[in-house]
Amino acid sequence: MKSLALTAGALAAAALVWYAVPSFAEPARRVPAPTAELVAPATAKTETAVFAGGCFWGVQGVFQRVKGVSNAVSGYAGGDAKTARYDEVGSGRTGHAESVRITYDPKQISYGKLLQIYFSVAHDPTELNRQGPDTGTQYRSTVFAENAEQARIAKEYIAQLNQAKTFGKPLATTIETAKPFYAAEDYHQDYLTLNPSQPYIAINDMPKIDDLKKLFPESYKATPSLVRGTKAG
């Protein structure tokens, strides 16, 4: 993800570069649902999931438009609290990955369904330490499991997709546990919704929203649940 300090002219020039760079990302596809599923407690009103899949602008934008999701916050996971700042995470030396914490109603959508959307449209899980034009460990594909059950489901799902050769090559997605999540700076929140025409967003992230609507019409909601004044759709 490029610096927010770029001028309009620089962004326009950068957009031309992004268009010219060939993409090795997998085309979006609706991958098979997981055969194993997380069973939420009957009393649970909300659950959380944390995923990393490249620039958090696009990942957040996707999950804000998923039915059953009440909130999706951009942030950092994998490193220490003292380095959970954008200018430090961008160095690639903090252990953090740009991540999104998803709050959802398990009675409306399952953890497995969130994983299915994550692997299908939110990012390319075959890319190692990069997504599109962004490179570095801060853009790695990682499931930050909140508990042992989430870790088990994610591990079995990755094995399922690999065994079926769903992508034709192994997934690069890792699973990390016991890693706290730290919310990103306010100016990163709802960035896709607030800046749909910004060149980076238009090129790299808006197609993900189209893919979500096309591949998961039963889970798509037109009105996103925003951090700044959450809306349900």
Residues acting as catalytic residues: 55
Tokens representing residue 181 in the block = 């999540």
Q: Which of 63, 4, 39 shows the shortest CA–CA distance to 190?
A: 63
Q: How far is CA 120 from the centre of its chain?
A: 11
Asked if 31 and 95 count as a contact pair (C-beta separation under 8 A), the reply is no
Query: Three-state secondary structure along 112-149?
Result: HHHHHHHHHHHCCCCCCCEECCEECHHHCEEEEECCHH
Q: Which of 200, 187, 175 shows the shortest CA–CA distance to 51?
A: 175
Q: Which of 173, 166, 188 shows the shortest CA–CA distance to 73?
A: 188
**Phi, psi angle pair for 122, to nearest 5°:** -75, -25
CA of 97: how far to CAs of 17, 24, 36, 174, 189, in Å? 25, 21, 26, 12, 16
Tokens representing residue 155 in the block = 């591990």
Cα distance between residue 54 and residue 122, in whole Å: 9
CB neighbourhood size of 187 (10 A): 10
